[in-house]
Amino acid sequence: MGEKQGLRDRRSLLLLGGELGKGRCIYLFKVSQDSIRFKYKRIKQVNNMVQNKLEFIKDLCKKYKIGLVYLFGSQKEKAYQLLKNNDNNDIKIDDPLTDIDVGIVFLFDLDNIKHRYKLYASIYNELEELFKPYKLDLVFLQETHSVFQTEALKGICVYSESESFKDEYEMMILRRAADFKYVLDLYTKEVLEKYEEK
């Protein structure tokens, strides 16, 4: 009984090994008896975390069966520079709300995935380290409207499973957006006419 009491009162540390890309990493969990919560602090990996970030993205895409990765939005150029540089420590952010938009397209239909949030969390957790100190805004493009996807196509494609897959996807999205443009233009015209009447 006394032994169990001592274990409950004592703070303990638990080390677990994990993998991130090809390198190894260790997570340190601080276990507190007062509140059952785990705080983890990532300890520096044995190998350099991501020696080549674009190579890391390639491995990640193969692992999760991702066909395309786009950097888009207002920070796409900075995001691309972050991927090309290994050291993110010198970067200063002017606007704390600034984030990096990353859109991904899977090689499979997302409707077959029951727990998309788990897939999202797994990919997000592996990608967010690449873009620090910026926040990551990860988007599954297949879940968005064709007009939004068209905006992502204007960004930088940092990974493509094949040129034919990329071409087919982009042509499909551009066709859908063109079909919808007529409806969008009609809607915009009606809204403007109602606005002008007031």
Summarised one tens digit per residue, pLDDT across range 52-63 is: 899 999 999 999
- Residue 103, pLDDT > 90, answer yes
Q: Are 158 and 52 in contact (CB under 8 A)?
A: no
Task: Read off the pTM.
Answer: 0.67
Structure-block tokens of residue 108: 């499979």
Domain for residue 159, yes or no? yes
- Which of residues 138 and 110 earns the better pLDDT score? 138
Nearest 5°: CA angle at 101, between 100 and 103?
145
Instruction: Find, among 130, 145, 154, the residue nearest to 183 by Cα.
Output: 145
Domain for residue 86, yes or no? yes
Give 131's DSSP letter.
G
What's the pLDDT at 33? 37
Instruction: Give the C-alpha separation, 119 to 37, whole Å.
Output: 23
Domain for residue 1, yes or no? no
Domain for residue 144, yes or no? yes
Summarised one tens digit per residue, pLDDT across range 145-170 is: 998 999 999 999 999 999 999 999 99
Domain for residue 162, yes or no? yes
Domain for residue 41, yes or no? no
Most trustworthy range by pLDDT among 1-10, 18-27, 68-77, 84-93: 68-77
Total domain count, the chain = 1
Mean pLDDT, residues 114-133 taken together:
92
Domain for residue 30, yes or no? no
Instruction: Give the C-alpha separation, 65 to 155, whole Å.
Output: 21
What's the pLDDT at 124? 96
Its domain, for residue 169, covers: 66-197
What's the pLDDT at 179? 86
Domain for residue 38, yes or no? no
